[in-house]
Amino acid sequence: MVKVECLGKIQNNISISFNYPFRLQQAHFSAPLCEGTRKETLFLEGDYASSVQFFVTVSVLAFLYSLLATIVYFFYQNKYREKNRGPIVDFMVTLVFSCLWLVSSIAWAKTLSGVKTATDVHQILLLMSACRAQENLCEVLQEPIWTNLNMSVAFGFLNFFLWAGNIWFAYKETGLHKSTQRHLSRTPSEKRSSFRQYSQTSFDQSGAGFGQRLYNQASFDLSSGGFNLPQTNLGLPMLYGQVGSPTSRGPLIFVNEM
């Protein structure tokens, strides 16, 4: 609010108002010319609608998504975890909103600085013809209050830190970190040992194809005092049982056929 006192003792209190979305070129006010009852219409300068509307849009979308996510967490937990699609979508949206909060907060902070400069009362006094004349008196009665707008910038950055901190928790819900840890926990020596074990097992299973035939070693029959030789067969490979007591079984040997 500005008070203009002309040389002829005419006083005028001028109230200048502006609000969201801060299209200041549309905000106008009437100022006296100190020449009788004549007045002039003056307009502020600057259009700051794009940045502040972007900030408000991000705020509204984040609120709606938070409300929707809360409902899903409480009432649709099974659908949320089905095929791990819910946690992955939640992680991606959290990442996007973190970036949006940072960009919109920076843009709104810069815009607010421009609004303060454009609506500075001392700058507005220079726009009035009556205040440029030295014989007239112009006085500032009340300056704009910026507390609420400053708090909105602070809450914007606070929301960025909250959403950015939630990225880790959303990532843990996806289970991607577990698969990464399992992959990194295997050392190169363990991988080489697994490869050697696999190769040896594959060779043992395919060894029969090279003509190896399984026989029982010759054994002594302790009860009769005789010496028994195993029977051989030139046909298909066969596994022979041992003659005599099971306690006298000898080790198994492989015989290669040429």
Q: Are 218 and 252 in contact (CB under 8 A)?
A: no
Which tokens belong to 157? 């950055």
Which of the four pLDDT bands, split at 50, 70 and 90, describes residue 235? very low
Q: What is the mean pLDDT of residues 6-13?
A: 75
- Both tokens of 128, joined, read 């009035």
State the Cα torsion 202-205-211-213 to the nearest 10°: 150
pLDDT score for 177 = 59
Q: How far apart are CA 155 and CA 219, in angstroms?
A: 90
Residue 201 reports pLDDT greater than 60: no
Which residues are registered as beta bridge partners of 145?
A: none
- Measured N-to-C along each axis, helices 147-174 and 49-75 cross at an angle, to the nearest 10 degrees, of 40
pLDDT of residue 49: 93
Is the pLDDT score of 59 beyond 90?
yes
Does residue 195 have a pLDDT over 70? no
Residue 83 has pLDDT above 70, yes or no: yes
36-45 long-range contacts, CB within 8 A, separation 24+: 40/128, 40/129, 42/124, 42/127, 42/128, 44/16, 44/18, 44/118, 44/119, 44/124, 45/118
Segment 111-131 mean pLDDT:
89
pLDDT at 252: 53
- Contact 240/230 with Cβ under 8 angstroms? yes
Distance CA 149, CA 72 (A): 33
Report whether pLDDT(68) > 50: yes
Neighbours of 119 (CB within 10 A): 20
pLDDT of residue 178: 63
pLDDT tens for each residue of 37-49: 788 888 888 899 9
Residue of 222, 221, 16 whose CA lies nearest to 128: 16
Of 128 and 192, the structure prediction assigns the larger pLDDT to: 128
Considering only residues 100 and 13, tell me which one the structure prediction assigns the higher pLDDT.
100
Per the CB < 8 A criterion, the answer to whether 67 and 134 are in contact is no
Identify which has the larger pLDDT, 220 or 82: 82
- The tokens for 125 are 């006094």
Comparing 168 with 217, which gets the higher pLDDT? 168
Average pLDDT of every residue of the chain: 76
- Residue 127: pLDDT band with limits 50, 70, 90: confident
| Residue type present at position 26 | Q
For residue 3, name the pLDDT band (cuts at 50, 70, 90).
confident
pTM value is: 0.65
Percent of the chain, pLDDT > 70? 67
Decide which of 160 and 86 is more confident: 160
Q: Give the pLDDT score at 100.
A: 97
Q: Spell out the residues 6+ positions from residue 99 whose beta carbon is closer than 8 angstroms to its own.
A: none
Give the pLDDT confidence score for residue 221 in this predicted structure.
47
pLDDT at 253: 52
Q: Give the pLDDT score at 250.
A: 52
